[in-house]
Chain A
Amino acid sequence: MRRLKRRHDDGAFETLVRRWDARVLAFLTKASGDREAAKDLRQEVFIRLYRYGATYNPEYSFPTWLFQIASNVLSTWQAKEARGLQRLWKFEEEAARIPLADPGPGPRELAALDELNGRIEAAMKQFTLKERQLLLLRLDLELSYPEIATIMGAPESTMKSRFYATVKRLRSKIQETEGADTVDRRCYQ
């Protein structure tokens, strides 16, 4: 990162990309819930990394800075998606076809999903983008609360309490789907 910051070193940039590519893609895919969009967003993250490499502050860890970029890219993407959706809603006949809220997969669909991973993924779709990011930053990247607070631009204590609340809600959602699945299976037996 120091080589990239000092001389715009292409070799250093490539090393960074190779090292972080998979983790950035996994983060973006799980946070956005959209695999195809995540591939484009991953490019955008690394383009920003290259362009703004000179603004990197070594006081922060590199992952903090990198995932701050990723978080900003996700926010921009979400805003664009929302604007696109609003434009679509102007057409009434189109609006009728667009689901207003993600109902999530039903019990039968859930049974077909890859058991627990499927349940977690389905439950995660009901969370906001910020909440999904928060979970991934703590559980996947194992960043500290001060680092997460820097990335998300919120106080550390808020991040900590929001993280606990999100995990508890996730637990509750998964238990709900487990219950529903059990009932559904009993009906079809």
Chain B
Amino acid sequence: MNPNDDRTTRWLACLLGDLDPGETARVEAEMRADPDAAEDFKQFFEDTSEWAKRPVADAPINMTELAARTRGPADLRIGRARFRRAWPWAAVAATALLVAALSQTSFSMQLGGATLAWGDPPESEAVTRLESEISALNESYAALAADNLRLYSGFEEFVFSLQQLEFQLQVATAELARNQERESHTRYADMERLLQFAQQTRAALPYGNDPAALQASYNGRP
């Protein structure tokens, strides 16, 4: 097949569906006129398409690694972009705050742990007194809290000893119950033995085990 042959271009366009219906019918007729060449070209086209579509075997992309690589510089860029968008507003807010602060006769603010202040307000003495009272109150509160803690510890110890006593009482009660049971068994056995002994003793007497004779022996007594 001659690569400069325009027929190849037409056939390729036809196989790719790049032609309009009229043109397609004309090219298909041309292909039917030379079936061997057309078949050969179709085979080449199919083989090339198959090669192009053939997947490449490999494990799927490592998402963990990819996720790690998608972080970092991009996030930093986003951060920088946000800063670029936000800084004019932040500057306006800071200026407004400064103007408001300067317009006061006295000003005081906490900035990074340090106190930024100027001016001497008339009520500063009262404020100092109030601060010392608050400080004293804080100390009292701390002492009270320590007392509470001690009291609570004592209470906990008391509850613990109460629990121990309760346990000992339970043990003693159980022991008492066991002793009572043993005692009743012993008494029962003693009673049985006594009855057997009495029966044997009566049998040895002249009137034996006859109750009437026994009664009669008593009747005769004064």
A contact face: mostly helix, strand, loop, or mixed: helix
In the assembly, what is the distance between CA of A134 and CA of B16, in Å? 14
- Size class of the contact patch on chain B: 20 to 34
Q: Which of A10, A46, A50 contacts B61 (CB 8 A)?
A: A46
- A164 pairs with B12, CB closer than 8 A: yes
Q: Please, how many angstroms separate the alpha-carbon atoms of A75 and B66 in the complex?
A: 21
Indicate whether A17 sits within 8 Å of B16 (C-beta atoms), given known contacts A25-B58, A168-B9, A171-B3. no
What chain A residues lie within 8 Å of B55 (beta carbons)? 22, 26
Determine if A47 and B44 form an interchain contact, defined as CB atoms under 8 angstroms apart: no
| A14-B52 in contact (CB<8A) | no
Query: Taking the complex as formed, is B200 at the interface, i.e. its CB lies under 8 A from any CB of chain A?
Result: no
A140 to B55, CA, bound (A): 10
Q: Verify A10–B52 contact, CB threshold 8 A.
A: no
Partner of A51, one of B47, B54, B74: B74
- Any A CB within 8 A of the CB of B48: yes
Query: Which residues of chain B from 154 to 198 have a CB within 8 Å of any chain A CB?
Result: none
Instruction: Digitize A32-54: 1 where CB-to-B-CB distance is under 8 Å, 0 elsewhere.
Output: 00010011001100110011000
A117 to B50, CA, bound (A): 9
User: In the docked arrangement, what's the CA distance between A26 and B61, Å?
Assistant: 13
Contact residue among A18, A47, A136, A169 (Cβ-Cβ distance under 8 Å from B52)? A136
Interface residues of A in 111-148 (CB under 8 A from B): 116-117, 120-121, 135-136, 138-140
Q: Does B34 interact with chain A (Cβ within 8 Å)? A: no
Q: A30-B56, A168-B9 are in contact. Are A121 and B51 (CB under 8 A)?
A: yes
Q: Establish whether residues A18 and B60, one from each chain, have CB atoms under 8 Å apart when the complex forms.
A: yes
List B7-60 residues whose CB lies under 8 Å from chain A.
8-9, 12-13, 16, 18, 41, 44, 47-49, 51-56, 58, 60
Judging by beta carbons under 8 Å apart, are B51 and A51 in contact? no
Q: Is there contact, CB below 8 Å, between B56 and A17?
A: no
Beta-carbon nearest neighbor of B17 in chain A:
A142
> Which residues of the partner chain A approach B44 to less than 8 Å between Cβ atoms?
171, 174
Of B56, B63, B77, the residue contacting A29 (CB under 8 A) is: B56
CB neighbours of B69 from chain A (8 A): 43, 47
Contact A17 B12 (CB under 8 A): no
Q: Contacts A42-B61, A171-B44, A175-B1 hold; do A26 and B9 have CB atoms under 8 A apart?
A: no
CB pairs A–B below 8 angstroms (23 shown)? A14-B63, A21-B60, A22-B56, A25-B61, A26-B54, A26-B55, A30-B52, A46-B61, A50-B70, A50-B74, A51-B70, A51-B74, A116-B47, A136-B52, A139-B48, A140-B49, A164-B9, A167-B12, A168-B4, A168-B9, A171-B41, A174-B44, A175-B1
Q: CB within 8 Å of B: which residues of A?
A: 10, 13-14, 17-18, 21-22, 25-26, 29-30, 35, 38-39, 42-43, 46-47, 50-51, 116-117, 120-121, 135-136, 138-140, 160, 164, 167-172, 174-175
Known: A51-B74, A171-B3. 20 other contacts (CB 8 A): A13-B70, A25-B58, A26-B56, A35-B56, A38-B56, A43-B69, A46-B66, A51-B77, A116-B47, A120-B48, A135-B48, A135-B52, A139-B49, A168-B3, A168-B4, A168-B8, A168-B12, A169-B3, A172-B3, A175-B1
